Amino acid sequence: MIISLRSISYDDLKNQLSKDDKIVINSCNTCIKSCGIGGLQNMTVLENMLLADGYNVLGIDLISIGCSLNLVEYHRQDIKKKEMYDEATVIITLICEDGYEGMKYVFKDKKVISITKTLGTGNFTMDRGVVLTHPFESTGLEKNSEGYELDEVAEKLGLFEDFFDEDDAAFKDEEYVDIIIDGEEVSAIKNQNLLCVCEENGIEIPHLCYNEELSEAGVCRLCLVKIEGRKDLVPACCTHVEEGMKITTNDEQLNKYRRIILELIMASQNHNCLTCSKGIPTPLYNCELQRLIRQFGIEKSRFDENNEFMPVDNSSPVIVHDPNKCILCGRCVRACEEIAGICNIGFINRGSETVVAAGLNVDMNQSDCAACMACVNACPTGALTEKVIHFTGKDWEPQKVYCEQM
C-alpha cells in the first residue's frame, strides 16, 4: 500500500483557487482512502467546504484506482461525466503523488491541484491501522518493520494526519427535518437517505445490497422498515427522509422477515463457507452475509438448499469469481460502472438462472476487466475475492466445550 499524508492546509488550498474556477474533485478509492485522506466521504466533505465558501464545484468523481491512466481516461470520457470534466477548469485530486502525475497527463488542459505528499509504502494492521514500513529516503526516516503510525509521521514531517476538518468551514444552509425513529426524535438533512440517517444515529439496520459509495438499488429487502401511514414496508436504503416521518426499524415482524430473507439467501447457494477468504477478520474482508447470519443466530436454513455447483472463474490474474457464493446484490455491477467506469460485468439470464458474468459471458481474463478491484471491494460475500487471499480460510472463534462424564 502506498502511504500518503495531507501536505497542505485548507487555506493553502483556497489560495490556489479563484471564485471563477469551475472545480471538479476526484479521488482514488484505494491506498489514499485507507490513509484517511481520500474516498467518497472526504470528497463530499471538501465539496461542502468549498461550496460553503462560495466556490463553484461542478461535481465529484470516485475512481477505483486513480493511478491507472486508462481508468482516469475512461472516467474523463464516460458519457455521464464527460460534460462535467469538459467544463471544469480545475481538478482537485485526492491521490498519491504518482497518481497526480497521471492526472496532470490526462487533464493537460486544466489546472490540477494535489493535496498530498507520498512517503513510501506500508500496510494495514488490525490494532494500529495503517502504518508506514518502507519510507522513501527523502523523508529521512529509517526502514521500520513494525511500521510508523501516521500521526507520528505527520508530526515528524510537519504534515497533516487527517483530512480537512469540516468543522472549520461554515456549511451551506441545509434544510433539516424532524423525524422519529423507534420513538426517538432525530434531526436529519431533508431528503437524506434513511439508512444513513439511522446509522449516523447509532441504529443499525441489516442490509446487503446498499453501499454508501454506490447508487441505491433496494434489491436485498433486508432493510425493510415501517413508516407510519404507509401500508407497505419500505426499504430504508431507497427512502429519503421527510418532515414528520415516524419510522420503526426493529420489531418482531421485521426481524421475522429479515430472518426469512437470510435463510432464503443461505439456501439459494453454497454459503456454508468453511474455506472462504472473506472469513479473514479485517474491515475489508469480513463477509457481511456471515456476520448477519451470526447476528440473527441462524444455524441452518429451513428451506431446501440448492446444491448445484457452478464453475469458479479463476482465469483473472488477480480476481477469483465464485458464483456459488453470489447473492445477486448487484454491488459489483454498480461498482464496475460507477467507480471503475468500465461496465465490464452485469447480470445475465433471468429468474433463478440469473448470474453475474463478465463481458459477453466470457471468462474474466477474456473480458475488458481492468483489474481495478472495485467489484471485489464492493462484494459483501466471498463471490469476488482477491486471488492472493483466496482460500486463506476463516478465523474460527475458539470455544470451550465441556463433556459430561458418563
Q: Does 369 bind ligand SF4 (CB under 6 A)?
A: yes
Q: Does 235 bind ligand SF4 (CB under 6 A)?
A: no
Q: Does 329 bind ligand SF4 (CB under 6 A)?
A: yes
Separation between Cα atoms, residue 92 and residue 103, nearest integer Å: 10
Rg (CA), the chain: 23
Stretch that binds ligand SF4, among 112-120, 296-304, 333-341, 398-406 (CB under 6 A): 333-341
Q: Which is nearer to ligand SF4, 244 or 317 (CB)?
A: 317
Binding test (CB under 6 A) with ligand SF4, winner from 37, 88, 342, 357: 342
Stretch that binds ligand SF4, among 42-50, 218-226, 267-275, 363-371 (CB under 6 A): 363-371
C-alpha cell recorded at residue 358: 463478465
Of 50-89, which residues contact ligand SF4 (CB under 6 A)? 64
Q: Does 326 bind ligand SF4 (CB under 6 A)?
A: yes
The bridge status of strand 90-94 relative to strand 111-114 is: parallel
Q: Does 30 bind ligand SF4 (CB under 6 A)?
A: no
Q: Does 345 bind ligand SF4 (CB under 6 A)?
A: yes
Binding test (CB under 6 A) with ligand SF4, winner from 330, 338, 357, 385: 330
**DSSP state letter for 386:** E
Stretch that binds ligand SF4, among 119-127, 167-175, 277-285, 365-373 (CB under 6 A): 365-373
Q: Which is nearer to ligand SF4, 3 or 375 (CB)?
A: 375
Q: Does 195 bind ligand SF4 (CB under 6 A)?
A: no
28: Cβ–Cβ under 8 A, 6 or more apart, which residues? 38, 63, 64, 65, 66, 67, 94, 95, 96, 99
Separation between Cα atoms, residue 141 and residue 148, nearest integer Å: 9
- Please name the residue that has the C-alpha cell 435463510: 263
**DSSP state letter for 168:** G
- Please name the residue that has the C-alpha cell 509521521: 153
Binding test (CB under 6 A) with ligand SF4, winner from 331, 338, 357, 385: 331
Q: Does 49 bind ligand SF4 (CB under 6 A)?
A: no
Q: Does 344 bind ligand SF4 (CB under 6 A)?
A: yes
201: Cβ–Cβ under 8 A, 6 or more apart, which residues? 181, 184, 186
C-alpha cell recorded at residue 362: 466470457
Q: What are phi and psi of 153, to 5 degrees?
A: -65, -45
What angle is formed at CA 178 by the lines to CA 245 and CA 256, rounded to 5 degrees? 40
Q: Does 96 bind ligand SF4 (CB under 6 A)?
A: no
Q: Does 292 bind ligand SF4 (CB under 6 A)?
A: no
Q: How far is the CB of 72 from ligand SF4 (least distance, A)?
A: 14
Separation between Cα atoms, residue 373 and residue 274, nearest integer Å: 24
Write the CA distances from 122 to 102, 210, 224, 319, integer angstroms.
22, 30, 41, 22
Of 247-276, which residues contact ligand SF4 (CB under 6 A)? none
Residue 198's nearest CA partner among 236, 243, 234 is 236
Binding test (CB under 6 A) with ligand SF4, winner from 371, 389, 390, 394: 371
Separation between Cα atoms, residue 392 and residue 9, nearest integer Å: 42
* Chain centre to alpha carbon of residue 35: 14
Q: Does 28 bind ligand SF4 (CB under 6 A)?
A: no
Binding test (CB under 6 A) with ligand SF4, winner from 288, 340, 357, 385: 340
Q: Which is nearer to ligand SF4, 186 or 340 (CB)?
A: 340
Q: Does 139 bind ligand SF4 (CB under 6 A)?
A: no
Q: Does 214 bind ligand SF4 (CB under 6 A)?
A: no
Separation between Cα atoms, residue 287 and residue 382, nearest integer Å: 7
Q: How far is the CB of 334 from ligand SF4 (least distance, A)?
A: 9
Number of residues that bind ligand SF4 (CB under 6 A): 30
Site residues for ligand SF4 per CB under 6 A: 64, 319, 326-332, 335-336, 340, 342, 344-345, 356, 358, 369-375, 378-381, 383-384
